């Protein structure tokens, strides 16, 4: 039985980790960390856990936690994990970080986009970017797994096969993404109040969103050349879900059959990426509560551009579910253990 600790267990991603790990037959949660609710019963913070979780919330003492568990999940704001991790901790446990602290390999890029000084740049080269469908073998041997962002997971899985195979010009790539409000976290913020979000849709972080360099970096690895994109996120009045619609110039003469063959090549053997049938568009409601990503495409022959589409649940495959998937790889479990939930509807 693997023992797990969660730092940041009372945020939305942290609570989703608790929900998923409670259904994992090989894991026991022994530490529910939360700076905001120290000594408060976890079930008082999340009443859905009444008579399910009896533990109280503890602080974020990573060194003490490392003596008690095999894996630590950090579902915390940027900067915290990097400020806590050290060689002594890493000699004892695996770290799966749901923040952006170890996703970007260039410390200057991290500090420019996140406006933070990186506290542990010595681990950037070692950390493995935990997009399981791309880095599965490297994850298995990692000490630090950088769990990808929600927008990035959807954007990369939707576009990467065509970038990697040279079927699109990656520097013409435009990614338009929509997210439910849980992606902004549980903290009380004026823009996230019901009256601000309901009956409204808005773009934000235009040309400045922090997931932009993460998408660019990973797509650059895929095609072995620098990639620059336009990425625009939008907030929509729903709890969960991300929908990506991406546009790019298609290699002249490329047929829909060739594009579909590429998607099948990359995803036919992937448990959690579903390539939809021709003419079907991904919808957030068909992946809600699950670790699935639905993808598809449409070629516009008039403009010789391709529209690539993807949908996922930002709290599951976009955060906690992917973290559990990474944990399964680290400890040799079936990759879908604890993640076999059928999408919820309605």
Shared-domain flag, residues 182 and 297:
yes
Neighbour tally for 180: CB within 10 Å? 22
Q: Is residue 342 part of a domain?
A: no
Domain span at 184: 151-314
85: phi then psi, degrees, rounded to nearest 5: -75, 145
Query: Same structural domain for residues 20 and 60?
Result: yes
Q: How many structural domains comprise the chain?
A: 2
Mean pLDDT by 10 residues, the chain (346 residues): 98 98 98 96 97 96 96 97 97 98 98 97 98 98 98 98 98 97 87 91 96 98 98 97 98 97 98 98 98 98 97 98 98 98 96
- CATH at residue 296: 3.30.360.10
Residues 14 and 73 reside in one and the same domain: yes
Q: Is residue 105 part of a domain?
A: yes
What CATH number did the domain enclosing 20 receive? 3.40.50.720
Residue carrying structure tokens 């997971």: 153
Task: Quote the pLDDT of residue 87.
Answer: 97
190 and 74 within one domain: no
Q: What is the pLDDT of residue 159?
A: 98
Are 161 and 95 members of one domain?
Answer: no
Integer angstrom CA distances of residue 123 from 135, 143, 189? 17, 10, 32
Q: What is the pLDDT of residue 186?
A: 86
Domain identity same for 62 and 20 = yes
Distance, CA of 126 to CA of 95 (rounded, Å): 12
> Would you please indicate which residues are annotated as catalytic (active-site) residues?
150
Same-domain check for residues 212 and 301: yes
52 domain-assigned: yes
Whether 160 and 284 map to the same domain: the answer is: yes
């Amino acid at each position: 039985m693997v023992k797990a600790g969660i730092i940041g267990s009372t945020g939305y991603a942290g609570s989703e980790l608790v929900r998923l790990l409670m259904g994992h037959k090989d894991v026991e949660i022994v530490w529910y960390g939360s700076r905001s609710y120290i000594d408060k019963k976890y079930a008082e913070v999340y009443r859905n856990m009444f008579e399910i979780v009896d533990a109280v919330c503890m602080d974020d003492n990573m060194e003490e936690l490392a003596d008690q568990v095999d894996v630590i999940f950090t579902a915390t704001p940027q900067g915290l994990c990097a400020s806590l991790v050290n060689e002594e901790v890493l000699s004892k446990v695996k770290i799966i970080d749901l923040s952006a602290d170890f996703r970007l390999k260039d410390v200057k890029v991290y500090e420019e986009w996140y406006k933070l000084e990186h506290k542990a740049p010595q681990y950037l080269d070692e950390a493995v970017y935990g997009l399981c469908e791309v880095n599965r073998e490297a994850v298995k041997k990692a000490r630090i797994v950088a769990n990808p962002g929600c927008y990035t997971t959807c954007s990369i899985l939707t576009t990467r096969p065509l970038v990697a195979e040279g079927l699109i010009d990656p520097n013409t790539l435009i990614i338009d993404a929509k997210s439910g409000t849980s992606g902004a976290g549980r903290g009380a913020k004026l823009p996230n109040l019901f009256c601000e979000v309901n009956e409204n849709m808005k773009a934000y972080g235009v040309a400045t969103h922090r997931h932009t360099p993460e998408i660019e970096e990973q797509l650059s690895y895929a095609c072995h050349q620098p990639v620059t994109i336009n990425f625009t996120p939008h907030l929509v009045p729903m709890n969960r879900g991300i929908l990506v619609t991406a546009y790019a110039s298609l290699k002249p003469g490329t047929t829909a059959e060739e594009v579909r063959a590429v998607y099948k090549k990359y995803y036919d053997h992937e448990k959690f990426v579903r390539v939809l049938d021709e003419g079907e568009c991904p919808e957030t409601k068909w992946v809600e509560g699950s670790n699935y990503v639905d993808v598809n495409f449409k070629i516009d022959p008039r403009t010789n551009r391709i529209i690539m589409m993807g949908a996922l649940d930002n709290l599951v495959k976009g955060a906690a579910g992917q973290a559990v998937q990474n944990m399964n790889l680290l400890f040799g479990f079936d990759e879908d253990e604890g993640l076999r939930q059928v999408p919820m509807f309605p």
